[in-house]
Amino acid sequence: MSSHDNERNDKVLSDDHLPQSPEGRGQVAVADDPFADPGLPPHEPRRQDVDERAAKRSERTISLLFTLAMLATVGFIAVYSTVSVEKIVYIFPFGHVSATNFGLGLTLAVALFATGAGAIHWARTLMSDLETADERHAVEATPEVKAKVFDDWKQGVAESQWTRRKMVRNTMLGALTLVPLTGVVLLRDLGPLPYSRLRHTAWKEGSLIINESTMQPLRPEDIVVGSLTQAMPEGLDPHAEDFHAEIAKAAVMLVRLEPEEIKDQRSAEWGHEGILCYSKICTHIGCPATLYEQQTHHALCPCHQSTFDLADGARVLFGPAGHPLPQLRIAVNDEGYLQALGDFEEPPGPSFWERG
């Protein structure tokens, strides 16, 4: 670099050629304590704090939202109860949708939104917005602290206007009470109600006893001493859709004992000339207890070895079964066929709550 170029650069970097800065510009004032607590900003009253008419408008708005939540909940229940699940409707811009799903979703969304919006609007417009700083204190509460907590609670209740705004309070309680019902209503979809179906079988007074092997009605002479015959009530069609559901409760087995071998008097009276008719559904978990030992008159369930004494009212001799096999009262009709004198007097099959 030549001497002429050096002189030229010194001239360019000289202070004489820098711009003049205004006084104070570009300088940052340094605080005494940059980490000092700036404190809370000054409180600015809201319009509702100084204008009672504005507060009334907010109260009406909040009540309207809570009322809307209640109406939407009622609409949810109405849609669930009245609209068929198979009904399809056209809703722009969704197209063809299920009327039930659309109605349930819409009403539930409105109920939840109105409840939340009402609560938020209440907090932002009517509840106190004063910010206060409270110094940290020891974890163990002193009597003075407890008293202060109670005082703060009372002050909070007063500032929230819980007791003053009765319409807001009542509508909010109504909304909070009804909205959870949407979940209760949905419990109905857990399955069809059983009503009293589990308590009754296909047996009724006058039902002929049908041999499951021959599908013919049984006569007393068809059952010999020491034999076991599996049977079902007349009227059941093995090809019917509900056959398995019905036979699962109505299947029976007939044994014939010498009358003097029957130990239980009531069991003998419910039979016919030594012929006893019991449910063959094990009272443990419902397996067929049809493994019969003619010398001892014991019926064994192959699943868990529950053993029943058919000569003694089918009482449980061994195994996890908790109840005897129910016995069906039988007789012979005018045509000489075995028939039932009614349904079982207790539910057949595994134990369930109605036995209690």
pLDDT band at 21 (very low <50, low <70, confident <90, very high): low
Question: What is residue 352's predicted lDDT score, i.e. its pLDDT?
Answer: 63
User: What is the percent of the chain with per-residue pLDDT over 70, rounded to a whole number?
Assistant: 89
Q: How far is CA 201 from the centre of its chain?
A: 29
pTM metric for this prediction: 0.52
DSSP E strands in 212-310: the ranges are 228-233, 252-256, 275-279, 291-293, 298-300, 307-309
Question: What is residue 269's predicted lDDT score, i.e. its pLDDT?
Answer: 94
User: What is the percent of the chain with per-residue pLDDT over 90, rounded to a whole number?
Assistant: 59
Lowest mean pLDDT among 19-28, 118-127, 232-241, 242-251: 19-28
Q: What are 42-53's pLDDT values in tens digits?
A: 888 999 999 999
Question: What is residue 310's predicted lDDT score, i.e. its pLDDT?
Answer: 95
Q: What is the rounded distance in angstroms from the CA atom of residue 158 to the CA atom of residue 171?
A: 18
Q: What is the rounded distance in angstroms from the CA atom of residue 19 to the CA atom of residue 5?
A: 23
User: Is 7's pLDDT higher than 70?
Assistant: no
Q: Which of 33-37, 127-131, 299-303 has the highest mean pLDDT?
A: 299-303
Question: What is residue 121's predicted lDDT score, i.e. its pLDDT?
Answer: 96
User: Is 79's pLDDT higher than 90?
Assistant: yes
Question: What is residue 30's predicted lDDT score, i.e. its pLDDT?
Answer: 57
- Comparing 173 with 34, the larger pLDDT belongs to 173
Q: What is the rounded distance in angstroms from the CA atom of residue 15 to the CA atom of residue 76?
A: 80
Q: Average the pLDDT over 292-299 and give the result.
A: 92
